[in-house]
Structure 1
Amino acid sequence: KVHFPGLGFGPLQKLLHFLMALDSLYRRQTFRMPVGEALKIIFGLSLPFLLVPHVVAARVEPLLSGVYPDYPAILRTLWSSSFNTSRQSLALIVVWGHACLGAWFWMRGRAWFPKYETLLYTVALLVPIFALLGFVNGARSLERDYAEHGGYGDRAYSSQAPRVDPNLLDKIRLAFYGGFASLIGGTLVLRALPARGRIRIRYPDGRVAAVSLGFSVLEASRAAGIPHVSVCGGRGRCSTCRVRITQGLEGQPPPEAAELATLTRIGAPENVRLACQFRPVHNVSVVPILDTDSLGIKTQLARQNAGGRERRVAVLFCDLRDFTRIAEHRLPYDTVFLLNRYFEVVGEAVEGSGGVVDKFIGDGALAIFGLKTPLPEACRQALSAAARLSQGIRALNQTFEGELEQPLRLAIGLHAGPAIIGEMGYGQATSLTVVGDTINTASRLEGLAKEHDVELAVSAELVERAGLSFEGHRRLEISLRGRKATLETWIIGDAAQLSLSLPMQG
C-alpha cells in the first residue's frame, strides 16, 4: 500500500462537508423540523468529533513521526481498546445513517422510489452489518497474518520507531475538538443575532407568524407551531407545501429555478408558491392548499354487531370521472393528496349522514346505510350523503381552482335491498363488508350515471322507501345484466339539489 504525507483528500472532504452543514444550519431560520431532518443534521455535526482520534492517529501522528502505518497497523490501533473499537463502530453507523437520510430525502419524491423501496431499505440495513462483520474479521486475522509473515516490515511495529509525545497528541486532539465546537457555537451565536426587519404571515384561521426577513413561509409555519405539510423536507422537490397568496403578492421575489420548475410541472397559477422556497419581503396572507388532515381518512364509525347476517340496507357507490387522465399530469405526491382530500369528502359526507364507508376501490368508494337504523331512514341517509358529496366536490374544486385542467366530477349510484353483512377476508385482510345483488345494482347505477353524464342515478325503490318524490326529474326503465325485470331509475343531473327536498338529519 502506498502512503502519501499530508492530511489526504478524505479528511478535507469531510471538513468541507462539515462547513456546508454549518452554512445550512446558519441559513435555517427555525429549529422546528421533522425528526428525519433533525437526525440528518445531528449526525452530520457529530461526525467530526467521532473521527478526530482516528485522524490524529492515522494522519497527524505520521506527519510528526515520519512513520506511515499500513492498514493492519491502523486496524491494530482501532482494536487496542474497547473504547476505540466502539467509537469507530459508532462512527461507521453515524456516517451511513447520515448518508441514508440524505439519499432518502432525495429519492422519496421520485416516481420510481416506491417500486425499489424495499430493495433500497434492505441494502441500507445490510451494508453496515457486513461492514462491521468485516471489521471484526479483520481484527481476528491480525495475529495469524503477523505470525505467518514475521511482521509487516513497518517501523510502527518496531520498538525503535520514532514516537511522538502523547501529551502533544492529546493537545492536538483537544484543539480539534475545540475548533469544531467553536465553529458550531459561533454559527449558533450568529443565528441568534437580531435580524433587521420583521414581517407578518397571516393564515386563514386568523393565526399570524411574526418572523424576521429571510424566513420561508414553511419555516414561519414551523416556528409558530402551525402544522404545514412538506413531504420532501423543504427542498422544493414536491409541491405538497404550496400555498395560495391571497394578499401581498405584489413586490415579492419571483420563483427561482427549482421552485419554478415544480410550479410549472403542476400548472400552478401565479398566486401559488412553494412555502419552502417562498421568502416574503413584506407582509403576506397565505392559504395552505394541502392540510395535515388530508394525510389520511378520519376514523370510521364502530362496526359492532354487524357481522354474519342478512339485512336490508341502502348502498352508495361513487366514482371520480376521468381521474386517471387528471392524475397523469400531476406529481405522485399531489395525486395522493388530492385523492386523500376526495376520500375525506366521501368519509365526512357518509359518516355525517349516518352511514359507514365499507371500502375505497381506486378512486371509487362503497358506503352502507342502515346497519343500525330502519330501511326508510337508511334510504334518506343515502340520499343526504349523495347531496353532501356533490357539495363537497364543489368545495374541493374551488380549493384546487386553477391547478386542475378540468374540475373533478362525480358519478353516484344508489340502491336499497337485502345484503349479506359480515367479516370477510383472510388473515389481516379480514374486514366488515357487504355482498349481494344490491351492491352490484348500485355499482351498475353508478355506471349508468356516467353514461347519461349526470351525477346521480338512484333506483325508484330507494326513493319510494325514503318517502320522497322526485317528480320533475327524468325517470328511466333500464335493464340490468342478470335481471329479468327492468329497474325504474331516477336520473339526477345535480345531486346537490336533493338537499332542498330532503328532511333535516337529526
Structure 2
Amino acid sequence: MLAKVAARRRERKGPAGSGSLEQRLRLASGLVLVAFVLLHFLNHALGNISFGAMQAGQDFRYMIWHSTAGTGLLYGALAIHAGLALWKTARRGTLIMPKWEALQLFLGLSIPFLLIRHIMNTRGAEVAFATYVDYRHVLSGLWPDNALLQSVLLLIVWIHGMIGLHYWLRLYDWYRSWQPAFLVLAGAIPLLALTGWISAARRLHLVDEDKSNFKPGEQEALAEFASVANGIVYGLIGLCLAFIAGRKLWKRYGGRISIAFAGERAVRSPPGPTLLEIGRMNRVPMMSVCGGRGRCSTCRTMILEGGETLDPPSAAEQSVLKRIHAGENVRLACQVRPRADLLVRPLILPGKPLPAAAFHDRYRWGVERQIGVMFIDMRGFTRLTESRLAFDVVFILNRYIDGVVKAIRADGGMVDKVMGDGVMALYGVNTNYRSGLRQALSTIVRLAKEIEAINQELEGHLGEPLRIGIGLHGGPSILGRIGLDGRGGVESGLTALGDVVNVASRLENATKDNEALAIVSNEVLEAAGIAAEEIGEVRELAVRGRSAPLKVFAIHDVAGLETSLGSARRERSGGSAA
C-alpha cells in the first residue's frame, strides 16, 4: 500500500525545484488571492441570472472571507504578496526582462490605484462606519459613473493572476493536456463576470432601485483614506524604482566587478544583481524558461573562476542542482549574486531564436516523470540476412517492424526509435505510471501473438521462425526532444534518457542468455499491481552500474501474463463499478 502511495506521489511530481521560502510564500499568497478573485468573479457572473442570485452568492462568500480566519487569511495573503512583490522589484538589477514578465509587473503595479478605492468603499466602509454593504449598495456606487474603471480593474487583476498561474503550471507535465480547457475558462470567467455585474447594475438603475447605504460625509472621508493609502503604496513603489535607478548610477559611477562570459565577452556590473540579470543587462544570450524563479535548470552555468567568492547554494537551488546531478562548480545563474570577478560559461545557450511553439514545448527543455521503457530486438537477424537477397531482407524486416509498431501503438505505447531490427518504446507518457506499465505488459502478450502471426504468414520465406527478445523496466526518466528544433520545419521526436533506459536495454540483451521471450524487472510488476509469481521465473540479474543484483522475471510463455492482466482488469472494473 505504501509503495502504491509513493508511486502516485512520484507520478504527480512537478518541476525540478520548489523555490525558496520567499518564492513559496509569494506563490501561496498568490493562490489565496486567486481563489478570492475567482469566487468574487463567479459571484458577479450570477448577475446574468438575477439580482437575488448575486446576493445569495455574496452571502455565501461572506461566510468564508468575512469570518475571522477568512479575513486574516485574505488580508495576510494580500500583505505578503504585495510586500514580497515590492521587495522583488526593489532587488531587480535591471528592468530588462521578457515581455510577459514586464506585462505582469506593470499590471501588478497598476492594481493598487484602482483597488484601494474599491476596498475602502466596501470593507473599509464596514469597519469605519458599520455600513451595510450588500450588492445593491456596491452596484449603485459603480453604475454608471465608475463602470469603466471597475471593468478595467477586473481585467487587470484577472490577467495578472492568470499570467502568474500559467508560468507556474507550465512546469508541470500534466498541464499541457489541460491547457486548452484552462484557456477557455480564463476567457469565459471574466467575460461572465463583466456581463453579470453590468447587467444587474443596469437593471437596478433602470427601475430606479439603486440605493447607496452611505450616510452624508462618509464617502468623502473614505475617498480621503483611499488617497492616503494610494500615496503610501505608490511612495513605496517610487522608492523601489529609485532604488533600481540608484543601482544604475552606482553601476556607472561606483565600484563594479567584472563578469567574463566564456565564448562571449567580459562585462562590468555593480555587485547586487543576479548573474542572469547581469547577462540580460548586457545582452549576453542566456536561457531561463521559468523566468528566473529557480524552478528549472535552463540557466545553469559553470563557474570557471571565482566560485569561492559566491555564497553557497540555497536549499531551493541545491534541490535543482541535485536533481540534474550538477558538478560542484555548476550554479543557477538566477540564484547567484556575484560580489567579485567571475569567469563563467552558460551551459545552455539559446542560439538562434526558437519557433514560438518549440519554446513553449516543455519537452524541448526536458521533463522528469515515471515511465516504462521497452526494448524489442529480433534474434538471429544476421543469419537471416546471410543467404537472402537484399530485397527479401528488406521485405521481411519491414513486415516485422510494421507488426511490432502496430502492437506497441495498439496498447498506447509510443515508439521512441527504430534501430535496424531493434525498437525502443515508451509507456506512460500520456497516462499515469501504473496504467502505462500495464499497457507495456499487455504489449508483450500482443507481440508474442504478432510474431506468431508473422511466422505463419512468412513460413515459406523463412528458414526458421522469427524470435524476439524484450526488456522492460520502469522508473524516473528524463523526456525531451534532442536535436532538431523545428527551425527548418523538422523537429526531433520525443526520447527518454536516464538509468531506466540503460537497464531496459540490458534486460533485453539478457533474454539471449536466459532463452526468454521477455525479461521484466520486479519494480515494473509491483508498480503495475501484477502477481509476479504467475508469469515467469524469478532471477537475480547483475546489471552493470548497479551495486546490487536486480530482481527480474524471465517470461518464456505469455499465458500466465495474459491471465494476470485479465484478472487485474476485472478487479479494476469491479472496483469502478462498486
Same fold (TM over 0.5): yes
Does the 8 Å CA contact 2:259/2:342 hold for their aligned counterparts?
yes
- The 5 A counterparts of 1:321-340 are 335-336=480-481, 339=482
Gap change, CA 1:286 and 1:98, over 3 Å in 2: same
Tell me the equivalent position of 2:154: 92
Compute the displacement of 1:78 (Å): 0.9
Tell me the equivalent position of 2:236: 183
In the alignment, structure 1 residue 279 sits paired with structure 2 residue 337: yes
Partners in 1 of 2:67 and 2:350 — Cα distance? 55
In the alignment, structure 1 residue 362 sits paired with structure 2 residue 514: no
Q: Deviations over 1:340-399 (max 9, x none)?
A: xx327x99xxxxxxxxx78556279xxxxxxxxxxxxxxxxxxxxxxxxxxxxxxxxxxx
In the alignment, structure 1 residue 22 sits paired with structure 2 residue 86: yes
Gap change, CA 1:359 and 1:182, over 3 Å in 2: closer
Q: Deviations over 1:201-254 (max 9, x none)?
A: 111234122222232111110111222111110111111111122222234322
- Give, as a single letter, the amino acid of the residue that structure 2 aligns with 1:173: A
Partners in 2 of 1:164 and 1:213 — Cα distance? 52
Partners in 2 of 1:123 and 1:144 — Cα distance? 31
Tell me the equivalent position of 2:133: 69
Tell me the equivalent position of 1:38: 102
Q: Give SS of 2:231's match.
A: helix
Tell me the equivalent position of 1:449: none
- Give, as a single letter, the amino acid of the residue that structure 2 aligns with 1:26: A
Tell me the equivalent position of 2:328: 270
Partners in 2 of 1:68 and 1:144 — Cα distance? 23
Tell me the equivalent position of 1:429: none
Does the 8 Å CA contact 2:129/2:218 hold for their aligned counterparts?
no
Does the 8 Å CA contact 2:310/2:339 hold for their aligned counterparts?
yes
Gap change, CA 1:233 and 1:324, over 3 Å in 2: farther
Tell me the equivalent position of 1:53: 117
Q: Give SS of 1:246's match.
A: strand
Partners in 2 of 1:217 and 1:226 — Cα distance? 11
- The 5 A counterparts of 1:128-167 are 128-142=190-204, 156=212, 162-164=215-217
Compute the displacement of 1:274 (Å): 1.3
- Give, as a single letter, the amino acid of the residue that structure 1 aligns with 2:215: P
Does the 8 Å CA contact 2:264/2:284 hold for their aligned counterparts?
no
In the alignment, structure 1 residue 243 sits paired with structure 2 residue 301: yes
Partners in 2 of 1:358 and 1:43 — Cα distance? 36
Tell me the equivalent position of 1:124: 186
Does the 8 Å CA contact 1:5/1:63 hold for their aligned counterparts?
no
Compute the displacement of 1:85 (Å): 0.7
Does the 8 Å CA contact 1:211/1:220 hold for their aligned counterparts?
yes
Gap change, CA 1:233 and 1:323, over 3 Å in 2: farther
Calculate percent identity across the aligned residue pairs.
32
User: Which has the higher mean CA deviation after the structures are superposed, 203-212 or 110-119?
Assistant: 203-212
Gap change, CA 1:198 and 1:320, over 3 Å in 2: farther
Tell me the equivalent position of 2:398: none
- Give, as a single letter, the amino acid of the residue that structure 1 aligns with 2:181: L
- Give, as a single letter, the amino acid of the residue that structure 2 aligns with 1:92: L
Does the 8 Å CA contact 1:221/1:227 hold for their aligned counterparts?
yes
- Give, as a single letter, the amino acid of the residue that structure 2 aligns with 1:29: G
Tell me the equivalent position of 1:209: 267
Does the 8 Å CA contact 2:143/2:202 hold for their aligned counterparts?
no
- Give, as a single letter, the amino acid of the residue that structure 1 aligns with 2:112: P
Does the 8 Å CA contact 2:310/2:338 hold for their aligned counterparts?
yes
State the number of aligned residues.
321
Does the 8 Å CA contact 2:121/2:219 hold for their aligned counterparts?
no
Gap change, CA 1:41 and 1:361, over 3 Å in 2: closer
Compute the displacement of 1:192 (Å): 3.6
- The 5 A counterparts of 1:241-320 are 241-293=299-351, 296=354
Q: Give SS of 2:258's match.
A: strand
Tell me the equivalent position of 2:526: none
Higher relative contact order (CA 8 A, sep 6+): 2
RMSD: 3.9
Q: Give SS of 1:98's match.
A: helix
- Give, as a single letter, the amino acid of the residue that structure 2 aligns with 1:54: H
Gaps of 5+ in 2: 1-58, 356-416, 430-474, 503-578
Structure label with greater radius of gyration: 1
Partners in 2 of 1:177 and 1:282 — Cα distance? 40
Compute the displacement of 1:19 (Å): 1.9
Tell me the equivalent position of 2:484: 343
Q: Give SS of 2:168's match.
A: helix
Gap change, CA 1:171 and 1:143, over 3 Å in 2: closer
- Give, as a single letter, the amino acid of the residue that structure 2 aligns with 1:362: G
Partners in 1 of 2:352 and 2:244 — Cα distance? 34
Tell me the equivalent position of 1:114: 176
Does the 8 Å CA contact 1:29/1:219 hold for their aligned counterparts?
yes
Tell me the equivalent position of 1:173: 226
Q: Give SS of 2:192's match.
A: helix
TM-score of the superposition, structure 2-length normalised? Answer: 0.49
- Give, as a single letter, the amino acid of the residue that structure 2 aligns with 1:44: G
